[in-house]
Amino acid sequence: MTPFLACPPLLGFLPPAMLAVLSAEQINRMLESLERNLLTPIPLCFVLGIVCTRIHGGIKIPKELYLSIAIFLLMSIGFVGGHELAHEYQAHGVSTIWKPALATLFLGCVTPITSFVVLRYLGRLSIADSAGIAAHYGSTSAVTYAVANSFVEQTQHPANSFLPTLVTILECPGIAIALVLGAALMARERAAKAGGGRAREGKLGEALYEVMTGQSIMLMAGLLVIGFISTMFMTEQAFQPFYDFFQSKGMLFRGALCIFLLEMGLVAGERLGDLLKVGPFLVAFGIGIALVHGFLGAYFGHLAGLNLGGCTVLAAIVSSASYIAAPPAVRLTLPEANPTLSITAALAITFPFNIAFGIPIYYEMAKWLGAT
C-alpha cells in the first residue's frame, strides 16, 4: 500500500500549485472523478491482488492463463485498431490521422530524454540506471491503454477510434532512443577512464531487434495491419464475426482485464518491499514524471485534434512505463543498470498511480485544456 501512503505527502505539494490554476469546483470534480474511477472492478481487482500478497493469501493465477489473456488483449487492441483505422481512412483519408500519429511519435522520442535528464541530473543516478529507467518510461504499457480506454468509455466520451494505432507507434522508439543514448554515454565514460571496463559489442543491435520483433509489437502491429486489410477488402457481414470476437462490445475485454489486473496486483504487491530499497526520489519520480508526461500527452493530443477521450488515453499511454518489452532490452544493452529500480518504478509506482489516480487526472487535464 506504500504508493498510496506516499501520495499524501506529494499531493501536499500539489494542492497549492493546483489552486493557482484550478477553481475549487474543478478540484471537487476531480476528486469525484477519482472516487468514481477507483470504485470500479478493474482497479479494485488490482487492489485485491496487492492486499492478497500482503496478507499472504492464496490467489494464484496460472501463468498460461495470464499469458493467454495478454495475447488476447494485444490482438484485440491491434485488430480493432486496424479496423477503425480503415474506417477512418475510408471516411477522411489521412487528414485526421497524421497529426495524432506525428504527435505520438514526437512524444515517444521526447519522453525517454526528459526521463533521462531528470534521473541523471536531478536524481544523480548513474548513466546506466538513468538510461535503463528512461527506456521503460519512453515506451508504453498496453494494459494502461486498456484500462484508460475502459475509463473513457464509461464516461461516455469514447476515444477516437484509431487510438490503438498510437499505442503501437509509442512502443518502440522510446526504448531505442534511451538505449542508444545510454550505450553512447557509457562508451564515452569508459573511454575517459583509462582502460576501465569492457565494451559490450553487438548486444545493442540484438536488443533493438528483439524490441522491434517482440510479442507486444508483433501482435499489436501485425493485427493492426490484418484488421486494416481485412476491413478494406471484406464485406461488413463477413467481417462481423471476427470483430465480435475481438471487440465483443467490450465485455470479454473488460472481464479479461479484471483477471489480468488481479495478477498485476499480485506481482506489484510482491514488489512493494522494493519501494523501501529504491528510496523517495524514485517514488516521487514515478508519480511526478507520469503527471508531466501525461500533461504533455493531453496537450499535444488536443493540439493534434483528438477528442476528450482520445486526449485522456494518449496522456495515459504516454505517461505509462513499459515493464514487458523494455526490461529484457535494457538487461542486454545496459547490464550495469539496476533492474530493481526500473521495474519497481514502472510496476509498483507509476502503474498503480495511473490506474488509481492518473487516468482521472489526465481526463480533467484534457477537459481543462479544452478538449471535447
Partner 1 sequence: MQLYPLKLVTVVGEGVIMTDIAEEAMKLGATGFSITEVNGHGSRSARNVIETGGAKTLKAEFVVPMDVAERILTHVSHEYFEHYACIAWLSDVQVVRGQQYIS
> How many angstroms separate the CA atoms of 247 and 8, rounded?
38
Residues at the interface with partner 1 (CB under 8 A): 61, 63, 66-67, 215, 263, 267, 323-324, 327-328, 330-332, 335-336, 338-340, 342-343, 347
Q: To the nearest whole angstrom, how small is the minimum distance from the Cβ of residue 216 to partner 1?
A: 10
The greatest distance separating any two alpha carbons of the chain, rounded to the nearest whole angstrom, comes to: 69
Q: Is 304 helix (H, G, I), strand (E, B) or coil?
A: coil
Quick one: 84 or 263, whose CB is closer to partner 1? 263
Phi and psi, residue 305, nearest 5°: 95, 15
The secondary structure element, H or E, covering residue 278 is helix 272-278
Q: To the nearest whole angstrom, how small is the minimum distance from the Cβ of residue 335 to partner 1?
A: 3
Residue 339, C-alpha cell as written in the block: 533492474
Q: To the nearest whole angstrom, how small is the minimum distance from the Cβ of residue 275 to partner 1?
A: 15
Quick one: 257 or 347, whose CB is closer to partner 1? 347
Quick one: 255 or 339, whose CB is closer to partner 1? 339
CB 331 within 8 A of CB 133: no
Q: To the nearest whole angstrom, how small is the minimum distance from the Cβ of residue 67 to partner 1?
A: 6
Q: To the nearest whole angstrom, how small is the minimum distance from the Cβ of residue 64 to partner 1?
A: 10
Quick one: 23 or 68, whose CB is closer to partner 1? 68
Residue 117, C-alpha cell as written in the block: 535528464
Residue 139, C-alpha cell as written in the block: 515506451
Quick one: 107 or 143, whose CB is closer to partner 1? 143
Buried b (16+ CB within 10 A) or exposed e, 281-315: ebbbbbbbbbbbbbbbbbbbbbebbbbbbbbbbbb
